[in-house]
A = this chain, B = another copy of it.
Amino acid sequence: MSLTNECEFPVPGQANDLVAAALEQTNESDVTAAVHDIARRSKVAGRVLATATRGTKDAALAILADALVAHGGRILAANAVDIDRERAGGMSESTLDRLALTTQRIEAIADALRQVAALPDPVGEVIRGSRLPNGLTLRQVRVPMGVVGMIYEARPNVTVDAAGLALKSGNSVILRGGSAAAESNKVIVNVLRDALVEAGLPADLVQSVDEYGRPGAVALMGARGLVDLLVPRGGAGLIQTVVREAKVPVIETGVGNCHVYVDSAANLDWAHDIVLNAKVQRPSVCNAAETLLVHRDVAAQFLPRVFETLREEKVTIHGDAGAKAAIPAGLSFESATDEDWAKEYHGLDLAVRIVDSIDQAIDHIRAWTSGHTEAIVTNDVNAADKFVAELDSACVIVNASTRFTDGGEFGLGAEIGISTQKLHARGPMGLGELTTSKWVVFGQGQIRQ
């Protein structure tokens, strides 16, 4: 299992559940009080961690990893309960596969914790510093955020990843997992809490609000002043609900309506391989391409060739009239509507549009993008510069696949998610993005004139 947990397609149900809970505006004062109490305990526990050394944190991560393996039997038993319930409830086999744990998967989850331990500690880094004219010594130092909340969907490995990344960056974490993984997560959280105590750290560094159901998630989103950062991970519905309803600071992650534009000056061999890679290598993730824009001058030469390969890969094309003209027999085709330009398919579907110019390509992308990743294929340096300068997305790529927008690929180490907002973090988020900074000033009695 990779350290990089790529954003994945949504599990039906949870997002709508959250919307419903938020809209109910239930006067769940008991739940709110309980969740706020959890957040206060989280803050107190976090203070111990904020000043812990890297050695302490890495040793704890190793103990957590060992504990998960040691208690693998309990975790698998709980996971079997989740799987049985969800299979009976009609969950698809592919989603069940994401939910399912095995001894091997638990080993991999534990290994991911050990890899987090091997990453540099972001806390304590001096970002800027200077000696001021009046003799004051000024440093801007990286410090933990404090209490990090995480609302996510089915995969139980996210429970462990979130705890590990929070711990390494000096934060306490409050988890709200998907109901589909409720039993698995419950046991995993208990194993982690016991292991924290074994490591000499407060158990309350890792807490869950799962037992409070949907009102618990709403209370977590509303815990202003108690939760320093909330990161939603999952499908677009979940993320949008959290972004809209939360009263605490949120980082919006992972919604990727990514584009590939094949310019008139493109190397069409590169274009073919990039389109194929961006669409089919892992279609369920957020950095997969959803729309292909092709310059009219190369459409007649390029489209038949790429369509041939996409047919072999069983991709369905949602295209305009120009695309339709090039569709070979046996390739599924539907006429594209505005909905197609807006959609993140999460599957083997590709919207295709012919454009008259790079400006039209840029206008299309501006109109429809989620601001994640856009790629241009071109040999024209001015076209590349224009595309990079004029598009305002988290990542703009020249002559490579959109699939490279990834913390692991970028060399950031573990990835919390991919931010599509502009505040605080943009693009792949590593451990550093789970920290904030503090200004530290040392003087010798200076006062301001």
Contact = CB atoms under 8 A, between A and B. Distances in A.
Interface in A359-402: 384, 388-390, 392-401
At the interface, is chain A mostly helix, strand, loop or mixed? mixed
A428 B439 CA distance: 9
B448 A404 contact: yes
A132 B428 CA distance: 15
Given A229-B422, A397-B440, A424-B424, 19 more contacts: A50-B389, A50-B392, A132-B410, A136-B404, A145-B422, A249-B421, A267-B445, A270-B445, A273-B447, A277-B448, A281-B448, A396-B441, A397-B441, A399-B442, A399-B443, A400-B443, A404-B446, A405-B439, A426-B439
B447 A401 contact: yes
A423 B423 contact: yes
Nearest to A133: B411
A228 B422 contact: yes
A441 B390 contact: no
A428 to B, nearest CB: 8
A247 B246 CA distance: 9
Interface residues of A, number: 67
A130 interface: yes
Interface string A405-427: 10001110000000001111011
Of listed A224, A389, A403, residue having the most chain B CB within 10 A: A389
Given A388-B440, A422-B146, A426-B436, A448 B403 contact: yes
Contacts of A224: 244
B441 A404 contact: yes
Nearest to A427: B439
Of listed A50, A140, A400, residue having the most chain B CB within 10 A: A400
Contact of A394 (B249, B274, B427, B439): B439
